Each structure stands twice: as structure tokens, then as C-alpha cells.
Chains A and B, each alone.
Chain A
Amino acid sequence: MSNLITRAKDSIYQVLRGLKTVAVHSLRIPTTKEYPDTMPPLPPHFRGRLALNVNPETNEHLCISCRQCERVCPDKCIEITAHKSPETNKLELIDFKIDHGLCMFCGLCTEVCPTDCIINTNDFEMADYSREALVYDIRKLTLTQGESSHYFAAKEIALPKPKPTKPAVTVTPATSTVKPAEAKTESKPAEVKTESKPEEAKTESKPAEVKTESKPAEAKTESKPEEAKTESKPEEAKTESKPEEVKTEAKLEETDIKSTDNDIK
């Protein structure tokens, strides 16, 4: 009987102790992170959406089409289209596609990249309405100069040496000219981009002309001169990206690009 009473007493004490511990918790500050309102503080090495760097200083595209990332990817979600430039005999990047619906964000591609071109950004909000929209092409992947310099600084990557060879520069207009159109669709802080836009416009004008001369085959597809609304530079970007890319672009919902694409057809 006394055993019963002591046991009952002990049980009640233990229950009250538990209740007290729980009740005291109500005086502590909640640990909830109210995510959409406040973004979580992500470490620089967080493995988020994949992106391609440009040289933070010169705005050159860093990809050299070595296909290391394509080869190492365990999911085979990277697809690089490149061709050998006839006059320089060097690889030229035409398109770079990553299927983020397939990617498992292991970050192996970023480890093997010799030029630190492909990186994991801190962006993780990639929800979309269709699987096709998760296939990012080079326009969506390439970062602006400002973003690149941010990631170079955050990840403590050594800045790349400026490329000495000229022909490599010819790749850049393809990617950089599209950026103004893309800047509107992206919800990233806009200040950086608006600054960089006019600069790009200036720097591009020369190489763009050089290239159209070098590729006579493309000149015929581009023969319509009445694209008056957009300047001649964005127009060039399309002609470079070849028929196969036009198809995928039509799926993407970027209105600016779409309207111009229709003109080509």
C-alpha cells in the first residue's frame, strides 16, 4: 500500500515536472523561420540552382566547352552543344542546357570545372509549371557580371585570368546580348543589371559585326531587315543560335524572345 502511494506520488511529480518543462518553453522565442517573408541565411557553398559564370571583370563567358561537367554528371542532365570554329580551330560554345528536373544538386560538375564557370548559386526557388520549363538553356543559366562577381567573392574563387586569344571573345555576344531581354523575366535585384546593360551594348557592337561577316550561312536566315523594334544586336543573337535552338525557345514563355522568334519563322 505504501509502495503504491510512493509510486503514485513519484508519478505525479514526474508528470508535473514534464508539464513544467513544456510550459516554460512558451516563454522562449520561437525558432520558426518565416520563409517567404525572410529568406534563410544560406552559406556560400550551398548547392542550389546551377549557373554559368562570366568573368567578373571583362564579362567574358568562362565556359570553354571542355565537357567535363557533362561527363561527370551522375544524372546526365547537362547537355553542351559546341562546335569547332573553322578559323581558330577552337571550341565555341553554342548552347548549354541543364535539366534541373533531373539534377540532384550533387555539385560534382562545379568541382571538376577547370574555369569555375559552372557554379551552384544560392537560388533554390525554381518551381515551375512544366517539366520543359526546368530545362534551362544558356540564356537562363548565364549570370550577369554583378552576380558573377558576387559569387566569386562569396565562394572565394580566384579571379580568372583574362583570355589572351581574341576568337574566344566572339562567343560572348551570343550570351550577353540576350541578357537585357532576360533581365526583365528574372526577379533578381535589378540594380546590378541595369548598370551593366549599357556597357555591354557598347562592347558588343564590334565583335558582332565581325561575326556576321564570318558566317555567311547564317546571313540568309537573317535576311529580314524589318525587325525595327529591336536593335540589330539582339537580332544577331538569334541567328547565331541555329534552328534547333529555336524550337526549345518557343516552349519557353519569355515573351520578348518569342515575338522575335516568330519573325524569323
Chain B
Amino acid sequence: MTEPATTTAGTRTTSPSPADAVVRIRGLRKAFDGRTVLDDVNLEVARGSIVSVIGQSGGGKTTLMRCVNLLESPDAGTVEVAGEVVHQDGRRVCRDLPRLRRTVGMVFQRFNLFPHLTAVENVVLAQRTAGVPEQEALERAVTLLRRVGVAHRALAQPEQLSGGEQQRVAIARALALRPEVLLFDEPTSSLDPEATREVLSVMRELAADGMTMLLVTHELPFAREVSDHVVFVDRGRIVEAGSPRDVLDNPAQARTREFLAAYGSAS
């Protein structure tokens, strides 16, 4: 595995020091009902870097991501977040699960906004339960909604919003607790091309601001553009990992080439 390299996304530089990894996964294994979904997976996300996980649906990408904030419990291996081991050898070590989840923001494929609350309330809720004072939480929510370009829809219910708007509110919601790393689980997979463009442009801005991100995506051109590191996962194993140029343009493994050819972006 190569270390994350400096990207094209702006002035941001990444530290090569492994001590500064926000997420570090070692020897991860996970099975559902005896079917192995992830096997001996190692992954590192350096502070300020962007790592994209690509691969076929059902290959374990989403499960891998969900092991970071422990929405799934790994069967074996070590998960370390922000310098702290949170899961080891199939046991949760982290005592304060809510705190871990505030350190790791997550954006879902199906948005999962709270339908009974307005957009701005969606962004306020977790801040309040985390103890942020009301006015401060509201101000932050409005600032974030402005940042993702949906402040004009702040008082709308999620069902009144377009898919792109919903996903941008979901990004604002995930940012509200100032996480150290953001997880994106196929954030544009249920969006039309126009909405996809809106969401990707917000993510591009976050990248330019130096946000640490772990991204599961089928948007290979976007992954090539913003990622420091691309990981190709197939049948629960990391087949190939490296810079976008290495993995997406000059894949070493036959399986990677096959996958990229099927996506029509190997050229």
C-alpha cells in the first residue's frame, strides 16, 4: 500500500505520518450468518485526506464503512478512530459510543433525514443532545445550511425537498457536530444527474477545506478527482489500493481492470 499523496484539490497537504491517521483498520473480518463479507481488511485514512472505496455492490464496501462508527461490529481485527482503539478482536473497547459517533459523521445513501422535523431542526437535534446551547446550535445549523446552499429551504420538511436538497441537508447535519472524519455511503446513488452534481460540488468544497473523508462511491471520475487514495474492494477483500492514478488508470490487478472495464471508465 502506498501512503496518501498530495492531491489536486487545492492547497491541502497530507501528513505521511501514520500516527496522524484518523481511521486505522487492521485485519478486519466480518461475517453475516456465516457468510464472510470482509476478510483481513487493512485501511488507513490520514488526517485531511480523502479515501474512496470502490467496487461492486455487495462486495463489502458499505459494511467496511459501517465498521468505522460501529454501526456494525467486526468479528475480528482492530478499529482505531482518532488515535483511540474502539473495537478489538470482536469486542467493543470504546465505552462512549455516542462520543465516537460525534467524532465520525455519516451521510447515507437514502439521506435518512428525520421526516417529522424541518431541515434546520434536523441539523440542530444532535447538537442539542450533545449539549450545545440552543442559540449556538441554531446559528451553526443556519451557517451550515448556507454553506451547502439550502438555507432558503431551512424551514421545509424533508418530503418537500428534492433529493439533492435532502442530501445536502444530511451533509450539514453530519457536519454539525464538527466530526474529525466524514463517512459517505454512496451519497449520490439515489440521485439524478443534476442532484448528483449539486452534492458532488458540496463535497468538493469540503475537500478543499481539508475535511477528512472516507467515501464509498460509484462516481469514478469524482473519486479520481478528489481522492488521495483509492481502494478497490472485491468479495470482502482489498484487491488493490493506491493513488487514483495507480488504481484507476494503471491498475495492477486483473480483477481491478475487469471492474473498471465494466464501468466503462478504464480508459
Q: Do A and B come from one complex?
A: no
- List B residues at the A interface (Cβ < 8 Å): none
Chain A residues within 8 Å of B, Cβ to Cβ? none
